[in-house]
Amino acid sequence: MKFLVVDDSSTMRRIIKNTLQRIGYTDLAEAEHGKDALEKMDGIDIILTDWNMPEMDGLEFVKTVRTTNKTIPILMVTTNAAKDDIVDALKNGVNNYIVKPFTPETLKEKVESVLK
């Protein structure tokens, strides 16, 4: 199971990666923004992406991925906490949504939920 963690904050990428490793997922790739992530999609089974990023934001990235891949699980991990944002993300193909800051338990629960 290969994860792609997309976030412009290196700290957040490391927090997410460390938590995933602790849960038991060790095959992890990372990208700084949507454009970077699109180049690293080979062999990826699940995507965890931030929303607010330079170059290409998370929503644009999700929309682009969904034009060619309808099935890959995508989890949005973001500070955007408004209902409209969550609905917007879901409408555009996000499978589940986490508001920062989150606990490791929430990340585990959400990852397991989208992998079902």
Partner 1 sequence: MDQSEIDALLSGGNLEEENKKQQDIVDSLIKPAETEASNEIDNTPSTEKPEKPEKPEKPKKKGAVMGQLSKVSQEAEEGTTLVMNYLENMLNIATKQKEYSAKLETELKENTLIKSTEEIIAYFKDSSFLIEDLIFNAMDAFQFQDINRQKLMKVMHTLTQLNTYLNDLLGDDSVDDDKPVNFGRNIEDKTLATDLDKENVDDIIAQFQNSN
Interacting residues toward partner 1 by CB under 8 A: 7-12, 14-15, 18-19, 22, 51-54, 57, 78-83, 85-87, 90-91, 96-104, 106
Give me the least distance between CB of 64 and partner 1, in Å please.
17
At 63, the amino acid letter reads K
At 34, the amino acid letter reads G
* C-beta of 18 vs 69, nearer to partner 1: 18
Please classify residue 68 by burial: count the beta carbons closer than 10 Å to its beta carbon, then call 0-12 exposed, 13-18 middle and 19+ buried: exposed
Q: Which two tokens stand for residue 38?
A: 């699109």
* C-beta of 43 vs 101, nearer to partner 1: 101
